[in-house]
Amino acid sequence: MKCPYCAHLESKVVDSRPSDEGASIRRRRECLACHKRFTTYETMESLPLVVIKKDGSRQTFDKSKLLNGMLRACEKRPVPFSQLEDIAGEIEQALQNDMDREIPSARIGELVMDRLKGVDEVAYVRFASVYRQFKDISTFMSELNKLLAEK
């Protein structure tokens, strides 16, 4: 590691501890030439996920967009924000664990609906109505009937 003070390339690790809830490692280093100390952070490299939209366009996965969609579906519902953050994190982790770097938006929508169904049925129906683009009341009713049949 290059010293920020004298640019010497050799240093030793003095202290190492987890940081950011285990997402990175903080290391205190000491330069072997000037003996000054500095801090470095080691994080796991994550490859960017690309979402393939319905129209064929591609954009980088954005967890905040996912969270905003769930927030809109859960508006005025008794669903804690922390639970939605956890769901968004679970979905992001599931997508990262897949070997595919390009994910169809339909797959993300299905993952959200699977999780919302167990959290709040009204939020699930709200999200499904936007995601599946219900055209009329009969498609809306068929989704409600499926939900009732599963109970």
* Model pLDDT, residue 74: 92
Cα 10 to Cα 35, 36, 136, 146: the distances in Å are 11, 12, 68, 64
Average pLDDT, the chain: 88
Q: Which residues lie closer than 8 Å to 41 by C-beta, 6 or more apart?
A: 19, 24, 25, 26, 27
How far, rounded to the nearest angstrom, does the alpha carbon of residue 32 sit from its chain's CA centroid?
A: 40
* Model pLDDT, residue 124: 85
pLDDT per residue over 25-70, tens digit each?
A: 999 999 999 999 999 999 877 778 999 998 999 999 999 999 999 9
What does the angle CA 60 – CA 93 – CA 101 come to, to the nearest 5 degrees?
40
> Residue ranges per domain, the chain?
11-43, 50-150
Cα 74 to Cα 42, 77, 105: the distances in Å are 36, 5, 20
Say yes or no to pLDDT of 20 above 80. no
How far, rounded to the nearest angstrom, does the alpha carbon of residue 85 sit from its chain's CA centroid?
A: 8
Regarding pTM above 0.75, the answer is no
- Least trusted range by pLDDT, from 7-11, 45-49, 66-70, 111-115: 45-49
- Report the percentage of the chain scoring pLDDT > 70: 96
Say yes or no to pLDDT of 142 above 90. no
b/e map 88-99, b = 16+ CB within 10 Å: beebbeebeeee
